[in-house]
Amino acid sequence: MPALCRSLRTTGFCGNSACQHRHDLRICEICSVVCTSDAVYKSHITGKRHLAQIRGDSATSYCTVCAKMVGGGARSWSMHVAGRPHQKKAANQGVPPNVQPELLPPSESAPDGYQHCGLCNKNIRTESWSLHLSSSKHQKMQKYAAHQAVIGEATKDKHGVTISPEEVLNLGIISSSETRSGVEGRLVAKNTVPLSRIMFVSAQLISKSRNTPWSIDATAVVGELLVHGRDSPITIKCKSTHDGHFEDRVEFVFEDVALKQQFVIVRFIRLIVGDRDVYERLKPTTPYTPRIRSKREPETKVFPGEAPPATNAVPYVTKLPPAPIPKSIASVMNTGTTKDKVNSIRNTILPKILDVASHGRYFKTLLWIEEKRSEEDLEIYDEHDGRLTLNQSRKHYLLEVAGLAEKRPSVLVGDRILVQRHGSDKGHWYEGHVHFVHQKEVGLQFHCSFTGHNPGHRYNVRFKLNRIPLRRQHQALDVALRGEHLFFPVARHIAGLNAPTRVVIPYNPIIALNPAQMQAIRSILSMKDRSVPFVVFGPPGTGKTVTIVEAIRQILRHNPNARILACAPSNSAADLIASRLTMYSQDQLFRFYAPSRTKKDVPDKLVPFVYEKQMELDRVERSMRDYFSVPPMTRLRRFNIIVSTCVSASVAYGVGLQRGHFTHIFIDEAGQATEPEAMISIKTMADDQTKVILSGDPKQLGPIVRCPVARELELDTSYLERMMKSDIYSEDSPNTGITWSRTSDLIALS
Ligand SMILES: [Zn+2]
Ligand SMILES: [Zn+2]
Ligand SMILES: [Zn+2]
Ligand SMILES: [Zn+2]
Q: Does 616 have pLDDT greater than 60?
A: yes
As its CATH architecture, domain 158-282 has Sandwich (2.60)
CA distance 538 to 398: 47
Ligand nearest to the CA of 101: 3
For 7-64, write each residue's pLDDT tens digit. Answer: 998 889 998 888 889 998 888 888 888 998 888 988 998 888 888 777 767 677 778 8
Q: What is the mean pLDDT of residues 132-144?
A: 92
Tell me the fold of 483-588+636-742: Rossmann fold (3.40.50)
138 C-alpha to ligand 4 centroid (Å) = 4
Q: Does 279 have pLDDT greater than 80?
A: no
> If you average pLDDT over each of 376-385, 394-403, 590-599, 675-684, which comes out highest?
675-684
- Lowest-confidence range among 46-55, 171-180, 343-352, 595-604? 46-55
- Lowest-confidence range among 193-202, 616-625, 650-659? 616-625
Give the orientation angle of helix 136-155 with respect to helix 338-347, to 10 degrees. 60
Residues contacting 651, CB < 8 A, separation 6+: 314, 592, 630, 644
653 phi and psi, to 5 degrees?
-70, -40
For 352-372, write each residue's pLDDT tens digit. Answer: 999 999 999 999 999 999 999
Sign (positive or negative) of CA dihedral 579, 580, 586, 589? negative
The residues of the chain that CATH labels 3.40.50.300 are 483-588+636-742
Closest to 99 in 3D by CA, of 112, 108, 110, 89:
89
CA distance 211 to 467: 46
Q: What is the mean pLDDT of residues 110-126?
A: 84
The pLDDT assigned to 625 comes to 84
Q: Are 12 and 153 in contact (CB under 8 A)?
A: yes
Ligand nearest to the CA of 82: 3
Q: What is the mean pLDDT of residues 638-666?
A: 97
Closest to 647 in 3D by CA, of 681, 601, 622, 615:
681
For 371-415, write each residue's pLDDT tens digit. Answer: 999 988 888 888 888 999 988 878 889 999 988 888 888 898 889
37 C-alpha to ligand 1 centroid (Å) = 14
727 C-alpha to ligand 2 centroid (Å) = 49
Within 501-541, residue ranges assigned H as helices are 509-512, 515-525
Beta bridge partners of 267: 250
Residues around ion ligand 1, judged by CB within 5 A, are 5, 14, 19, 21
Q: What is the mean pLDDT of residues 159-165?
A: 94
Q: Does 252 have pLDDT greater than 60?
A: yes
- Lowest-confidence range among 30-44, 287-301, 603-617? 287-301
ipTM over 0.90: no
**Where does the pLDDT of residue 293 fall: very low under 50, low under 70, confident under 90, or very high at 90 and above?**
very low
Pairing of strands 33-35, 26-28: antiparallel
Q: Does 292 have pLDDT greater than 70?
A: no
The pLDDT assigned to 73 comes to 77
Q: What is the mean pLDDT of residues 668-695?
A: 97
The pLDDT assigned to 245 comes to 82
The pLDDT assigned to 448 comes to 84
- Lowest-confidence range among 336-340, 449-453, 560-564? 449-453
Query: Higher pLDDT residue, 385 or 676?
Result: 676
Which helix or strand (DSSP H or E) is residue 270 part of? strand 261-273
156 C-alpha to ligand 2 centroid (Å) = 24
Q: How far is CA 665 from CA 186, 196, 333, in A?
A: 41, 19, 36
Q: Does 746 have pLDDT greater than 70?
A: no
Count of CB atoms situated within 10 Å of the CB of 166: 12
Percent of the chain predicted with pLDDT > 70 = 95
Q: What is the mean pLDDT of residues 714-737?
A: 92
| Mean pLDDT for all residues in the chain | 89
706 C-alpha to ligand 4 centroid (Å) = 26
Ligand nearest to the CA of 208: 1
CATH number 2.40.30.230 given to 383-465: yes
The pLDDT assigned to 285 comes to 45
Q: Does 748 have pLDDT greater than 50?
A: no
206 C-alpha to ligand 1 centroid (Å) = 8
The residues of the chain that CATH labels 2.40.30.230 are 383-465
Q: How far is CA 72 from CA 28, 59, 245, in A?
A: 21, 6, 30
415 phi and psi, to 5 degrees?
-70, 170
Residues contacting 410, CB < 8 A, separation 6+: none
Q: Does 281 have pLDDT greater than 70?
A: no
Q: Does 1 have pLDDT greater than 70?
A: yes
Q: What is the mean pLDDT of residues 512-536?
A: 93
Which helix or strand (DSSP H or E) is residue 469 part of? helix 468-477
Ligand nearest to the CA of 124: 4
**Where does the pLDDT of residue 274 fall: very low under 50, low under 70, confident under 90, or very high at 90 and above?**
confident
The pLDDT assigned to 105 comes to 59
Pairing of strands 641-645, 564-568: parallel
For every residue of 198-266, which 3-state class applies, written as one string?
EEEEEEEECCCCCCCCEEEECCCCCCCEECECCCEEEEEEECCCCCEEEEEEEEEEEEECCCCEEEEEE
**Where does the pLDDT of residue 289 fall: very low under 50, low under 70, confident under 90, or very high at 90 and above?**
low
**Where does the pLDDT of residue 71 fall: very low under 50, low under 70, confident under 90, or very high at 90 and above?**
confident
Q: Does 715 have pLDDT greater than 70?
A: yes
Q: Are 415 and 409 in contact (CB under 8 A)?
A: no
CA distance 477 to 507: 38
29 C-alpha to ligand 4 centroid (Å) = 17
330 C-alpha to ligand 4 centroid (Å) = 14
Ligand nearest to the CA of 47: 2
**Where does the pLDDT of residue 300 fall: very low under 50, low under 70, confident under 90, or very high at 90 and above?**
confident
Residues contacting 578, CB < 8 A, separation 6+: 566, 589, 591, 606, 609, 643
The pLDDT assigned to 387 comes to 92
204 C-alpha to ligand 1 centroid (Å) = 12
The pLDDT assigned to 353 comes to 92
Closest to 468 in 3D by CA, of 585, 671, 316:
316
**Where does the pLDDT of residue 621 fall: very low under 50, low under 70, confident under 90, or very high at 90 and above?**
low
Q: Are 223 and 350 in contact (CB under 8 A)?
A: no
The residues of the chain that CATH labels 2.60.40.10 are 158-282
Query: Higher pLDDT residue, 189 or 17?
Result: 189
46 C-alpha to ligand 2 centroid (Å) = 8
Q: Does 579 have pLDDT greater than 60?
A: yes
> If you average pLDDT over each of 13-27, 102-116, 423-437, 516-530, which comes out highest?
516-530
